[in-house]
Amino acid sequence: ITGDYLKTAIAIAKNVNILQPQDDEATAAVDCARLRPNETYLPKEDMDSLTASVRVFARAKPEDKLEIVKSLQRQGAVTAMTGDGVNDAPALNQADIGVAMGIQGTEVAKGASDMILTDDNFCSIVAAVEKGRTIYAGIQKFVAFIMSVHI
């Protein structure tokens, strides 16, 4: 979900493998104006159908980001949102995990998020998830050991 123009969003999505060569750009990447054809958002069912099939949303307004996150959550998806500005705060807050930029991010975005990337590097998210999984596995082993010893 980006505020960039559609062609820019498609190029970036291809570069980071969000869009695959076999994807149909006309259906996998859309301008967010399709979410609100008459300046009114689509009904929830139509919105959910659209967000289930689209992989890239371009020219997103802050309220579009929020509606997309809500739609994905209605479908049972776990959502993560990254952002750096005041306009990203509602979607950062609504997402299951909001990730703010620590260097470029505003204080509002940081306050609305669950995690702050101190170096503004998305690779840090991967490292944090890996570290979190290691810690969680350690806790599971500890609890299993304690339960087996004290029962």
Q: What is the pLDDT of residues 94-104, one digit of tens each?
A: 999 999 999 99
* Residue 75 and residue 48 in contact, taking contact as beta carbons nearer than 8 Å: yes
What burial class does residue 138 get, using C-beta atoms within 10 Å of its C-beta: 0-12 exposed, 13-18 middle, 19+ buried?
Answer: exposed
Three-state DSSP class for 25? helix
What's the whole-model pTM score? 0.82
The mean pLDDT of 9-29, rounded to a whole number, is 91
The mean pLDDT of 104-131, rounded to a whole number, is 90
- Phi and psi dihedrals of 56, rounded to 5? -135, 125
Residue 123 has pLDDT above 90, yes or no: no
Residue 150 has pLDDT above 90, yes or no: no
Q: What pLDDT is stored for residue 151 in this prediction?
A: 73
Nearest to 65 by CA among 38, 93, 29: 93
User: Six-digit token pair at 44?
Assistant: 């929830």
Q: What percentage of the chain carries pLDDT values higher than 90?
A: 81
Q: Where are the alpha helices (DSSP H) in 24-122?
A: 25-28, 44-53, 62-74, 89-94, 107-112
**What count of other Cβ atoms lies within 10 Å of the Cβ of residue 76?**
6
Q: How far is CA 98 from CA 8, 73, 83, 92, in A?
A: 24, 14, 8, 4
Residue 125 pLDDT class (50, 70, 90 cuts): confident
Q: What pLDDT is stored for residue 142 in this prediction?
A: 95
Q: Could you please report the per-residue DSSP string of 70-84?
A: HHHHHTT---EEEE-
